[in-house]
Structure 1
């Protein structure tokens, strides 16, 4: 099958969509499909283009057995709604005008949402290529921005919601990352027969790093051999409310714990400056903030941690959200604490992780203190979590399940 994946975000950028789509492309190519990815020049979230992509409007690459076509876009850091929208719009235009011929023929166009503008690109490209259209929904857009207070204009929201439903109607199949998202789409009139849940997962082999590979990272993160290192690694956005973790770090610093507890935040995003200011205001000496790391470094980074955190804001819609980072934390064999509710909390509980209410710094601090004082419990949680991911959320198994949906798209309309 000839598969065209259209996405605004793709490696070498790091993040949930990048990891999900690159894993799918690699798995399908390895199984014999002809896979092409149409994406923009890598710059997320810093807004900095690597030198090799500067002054370039179109480039072709090969990666893990599939083609990557990159087209020009307006480069901007991941902050400021107007500039981000311009970046999304620019890729929508360039991906169609520059990418439609370069991408070649396709039987199926798989487009990732958000960004919503990429869905319009995917729809146009599917029309031009007479291909089936599959929409991969990672977040409910614009609902997420509405609940977070980013979008408030009722007329704008109504228009965007109509466009969202039109996109689902145009798709031959729709794939979501949680059962909560699936229920929401069905409730709003999308036929149940064409909405499928394929959750995120992790490459379990990739996160089984050799013992000792993490030593350099522990030093960089400010942790000694006997310290307990608590890590958040990922996007620093408004959805996570990382200041609540900083508050927990301040509380832990005042608790009697058997070993020193160190906190590290690794990543970039629109809310990082607010986190930096909050850490400074609290005067935290047990906390380090580092920029994001290349995707290839993530297994060694996670190996350095003793406890990994999965936070989400206390927003009703997030009860249906499942942060993809939690599968990588579990695959790395780490003790995990989820500060969230709903579907993700249920999965983490099944994996043997600890779960506390979202945005509850007191409960989070108590859970961290308990695990920091009990190395054997951390090790048991890590082994249980990894076994759970191996059995239920290995990315190669999920990719094969997803591939069946592409076949379904080609035989139904």
Structure 2
């Protein structure tokens, strides 16, 4: 089974698709990747790569082809648009050339925002005469509106028309959340839509604390690990931290980087939040050990109908760690935590609710928190274990290719 994986982001950038590619290889697929030059999240091209570069390299037995793109830079709408559109153009124009002579059974698009990158998948489907599968990670054009990136109704309608065009030229649409099924199906025409969740980590759950460089004080450490961006409702987290300052045994540890990193640093200093720690960004390989040492793990999202339909990928990682979870979000993500019995939930952007949830978890007997973690781990093995999901995906791709 020969699979071409198309994704704007890939190793050495830290995205879940890196693991999916490895797991597909273990499941028996021959995987080739078409991606851009690594520059996420800082916005600068990684050392050893070039924005104008066109080449290939090996990643754990996977051939990785890279096309040029405009780096994200410091952000801003114009620079981000240039970053996204340059990858779309280069993957569509130079991608077929760099992949010349290679045959594929399926083109598999990792459909993070912007979904427009899947246009390159349509081009490659036609040229390679392969099946096209798009794994929808985000809803467009809804996400453009909820993040405030685009507000013009006419432009949103145009984007919606393009998304319908993409969906209807795919052979299969996979969605990462059950809540995505109805809105994607409404735009997909005759293209089948199926639920396929993001997997958890390949870690066996036995992380070793010595492998983690993130400092944690002797305290009840509530750890948030991941992107520190606009949709993570970090202002709500800081407001909860303010309310918790009378509890000297509690620490809020925000590990990662993102568009709000500098703002967070400023706010912690201005508000004199002595219970908040910002250790910075650490390698993804450190995260399982960090989670193993946390007293509780925090996932938060802003309020909004689109975000309520999303299951943040860190939820699966948290479940795999076997630690109790505090979920400050609405909808599908909260439902997973609730159904698994892995922790406590509160509404999105509810600082009082988040404060109460942290205190509730801290005041539980340690054995009750341990039972929550064990329940989450069992749920993870049943629903999100990477090897199981990779085998399922391989069988589905093979079935699709057999009908070509």
Pair 1:74 & 2:70 matched: yes
User: Structure 1's 392 and 189: CA in aligned 2 closer, same or farther, altered over 3 A?
Assistant: closer
Pair 1:241 & 2:233 matched: yes
Hey, what's the Cα distance between the residues in 2 that align with 1:188 and 1:102?
32
State the match for 1:337 in structure 2.
Answer: 326
Shift in Å at residue 160 of structure 1?
0.3
Pair 1:213 & 2:210 matched: yes
State the match for 1:112 in structure 2.
Answer: 110
**Residue correspondence of structure 1 range 5-404 to structure 2 within 5 A:** 5-14=5-14, 18-19=15-16, 21-54=17-50, 57-77=53-73, 79-103=75-99, 104-113=102-111, 114-188=113-187, 190-191=189-190, 194-210=192-208, 212-213=209-210, 216-217=213-214, 220-221=215-216, 223-224=217-218, 227-255=219-247, 260-352=249-341, 353-374=343-364, 375-404=366-395
8 Å CA contact 1:204–1:390 kept in 2: the answer is: no
Hey, what's the Cα distance between the residues in 2 that align with 1:372 and 1:268?
26
8 Å CA contact 1:10–1:22 kept in 2: the answer is: yes
Pair 1:2 & 2:2 matched: yes
Shift in Å at residue 290 of structure 1?
3.0
TM-score scaled by structure 1? 0.91
Structure 1 vs Structure 2 CA RMSD: 1.9
TM-score scaled by structure 2? 0.93
- Superposed CA deviations along residues 163-218 of structure 1, whole A, max 9, x for unmatched, are 00000000011111011111112234534x610110112135344213x436743x
Hey, what's the Cα distance between the residues in 2 that align with 1:215 and 1:239?
27
- Superposed CA deviations along residues 113-154 of structure 1, whole A, max 9, x for unmatched, are 222231111111111111111111100022112123321111
Q: Which runs of 5+ in 1 are unaligned?
A: none
8 Å CA contact 1:248–1:361 kept in 2: the answer is: yes
Hey, what's the Cα distance between the residues in 2 that align with 1:350 and 1:302?
21
- Superposed CA deviations along residues 360-381 of structure 1, whole A, max 9, x for unmatched, are 1111111111222333332221
Size of the aligned set, in residue pairs, is 399
Q: Which runs of 5+ in 2 are unaligned?
A: none
